[in-house]
Amino acid sequence: MNLSICSNILKYRKENGVTQAALAEYLGVSPQAVSKWEQELSLPDVYLIPKIALFFNITIDTLYGMTDLDTSDLLVSKYSMNPNDKTYKEAKDSIEMLLERNSQNVDALSFLCRLEFQRAQEFLQKSKEVCEKLKVLVAGKEESWETRATIQLMRTNAMLGNYDFLDVYTQKFEDEKTIDNFKYLVIASSLNNRNQYEAVLHMASSYMDTFEENDQKKIYPILMDLAYSLGDIDYVKKCFLVIVEGENSVSQVFNAWWVLWKTYCKIGQIKEAEECKEELLRQLPSQNYNEYTYEQMKSHLEGQGAKPKNVL
């Protein structure tokens, strides 16, 4: 039984100087019924709640003793049960109102953390569904798009805390040691645990020679990214040479120069980084970027803009 409403009826009746008889007459009940409410012996019927709140010129939430914090908490819970733009906005607006009053309201900030995390989960789930659909549509037709969809699906599952894909690709590689299965196993292993990068690179070295040269070029760009993350300049250079000296696409060569440039910047080799930058600026016009992306890339290379997203 929610007894807050009982004590609030008594509170607001006295504050407004109203007798039990007057309130009872307005509501169409007996004075004894009002007395029982105030003694917490019974509760008003549900249909009377709006009339009581209107009589005292308060909200139903206030009548029930709900604070703005309680309301925000409930709205966040409502969003978690029914995630959509409307329920998200309701919860967000309620929290922002609390933070406008006090930007250091710990409860409000905790609600906001919970809300935004759940919002992120919602969008990650949507991303997963789209990746799954794309993967089905391009399967066996567009290899590059199938690869992108597969990798993004693994990344999304990892962010959702689902690492089942590692077992899947481990089994696939054990069953059939193709370059594609190996490529996906390397990516799956690295996503599962960043501390496994060294083991992944060691595994790559062990298996790489078992593949045809044309197949090897599919995996070196991925290994180059992993080596960059480790700060392994020697392995970055090894991958770079294989990519730029082989028969690879214009974009693959550009991306290899990009990772090499980032590596030199990361370890502070300024002269080498400048040489890479000049080469990247030379190659940039030949990349099939739209005008906005082109200007962002150029601006970043020239040190005038914010860092753009990684080139895929």
| pLDDT tier for residue 310 given thresholds of 50, 70 and 90 | very low
* Contact present, 219 and 179 (Cβ < 8 Å): yes
pLDDT of residue 306: 36
Is pLDDT of 1 > 80? Answer: no
Is pLDDT of 304 > 80? Answer: no
Is pLDDT of 192 > 80? Answer: no
Q: SS3 sequence, the chain?
A: CCCHHHHHHHHHHHHCCCCHHHHHHHHCCCHHHHHHHHCCCCCCCHHHHHHHHHHCCCCHHHHCCCCHHHHHHHHHHHHHHCCCHHHHHHHHHHHHHHHHHCCCCHHHHHHHHHHHHHHHHHHHHHHHHHHHHHHHHHCCCCHHHHHHHHHHHHHHHHHCCCCHHHHHHHHHHHHCCCHHHHHHHHHHHHHHCHHHHHHHHHHHHHHHHHCCHHHHHHHHHHHHHHHHHHCCHHHHHHHHHHHHHCCCCHHHHHHHHHHHHHHHHHHCCHHHHHHHHHHHHHHHHHCCCCHHHHHHHHHHHCCCCCCCCCCC
Q: HSE-up of 196 (CA within 13 Å, CB side)? A: 13
| pLDDT tier for residue 119 given thresholds of 50, 70 and 90 | very high
pLDDT of residue 10: 92
pLDDT of residue 303: 77
| pLDDT tier for residue 35 given thresholds of 50, 70 and 90 | very high
| pLDDT tier for residue 311 given thresholds of 50, 70 and 90 | very low
Quote the percentage of the chain above a pLDDT of 70: 93
pLDDT of residue 3: 65
Closest CA to 219 of 233, 237, 232, 207: 207
Q: What is the pLDDT of residues 251-264, one digit of tens each?
A: 889 999 999 999 99
pLDDT of residue 305: 35
Phi, psi of 117 (to 5 degrees): -65, -45
Q: What is the pLDDT of residues 145-182, one digit of tens each?
A: 888 899 899 989 888 878 888 889 889 988 998 888 88
| pLDDT tier for residue 228 given thresholds of 50, 70 and 90 | confident
Is pLDDT of 312 > 70? Answer: no
